[in-house]
Amino acid sequence: MITSNSPENSPQQEVPPTLYQNIDEKELVAKSKKHLIEYGIKFEPDIITGSQGLYIYTASGRKVLDWTSGQMSCLLGHGHPEIVKVITEHASQLDHLFSGMISPPVVSLADRLCSALPA
């Protein structure tokens, strides 16, 4: 248990992401209704403008614990430094391929997944 308030144990000061600021929410919703298909469920009314750690942020500035983004974000958090580093490295050299093509990362992942299965 952490009992000290030393700098190493203090919570980091969170700064909300600033990628999308001063957006026109009404215009964005209108365009989404015109151009996007709602399948399964209706879109949430809040516009999500960023994510950091285990939280997503709305255009209105609300911080929301993200229980919806699947296993990766819920377990590791949005913007995890190690994941960002690996994605950046790979995106600059080999980002996406047609699913009928083979690359070392695809085969490596398949091998690791299959080796985790019982024999």
pLDDT (tens digit, 9 = 90+) per residue, 12-21?
Answer: 556 777 788 8
Give the chain's mean pLDDT: 80
Q: Which CATH class is domain 13-95?
A: alpha beta
Task: Work out the average pLDDT over 16-30.
Answer: 87
- Sign of the four-CA dihedral 19, 9, 80, 85: positive
Both tokens of residue 30?
Answer: 């209108």
Per-residue pLDDT at 95 exceeds 80: no
Separation of alpha carbons 96 and 90, rounded Å: 9
User: pTM, whole model, 2 decimals?
Assistant: 0.61
- Of the listed ranges 27-31, 74-78, 110-114, the one predicted with least confidence: 74-78
Q: What is the pLDDT of residue 107?
A: 83
- Tokens coding 24: 């026109």
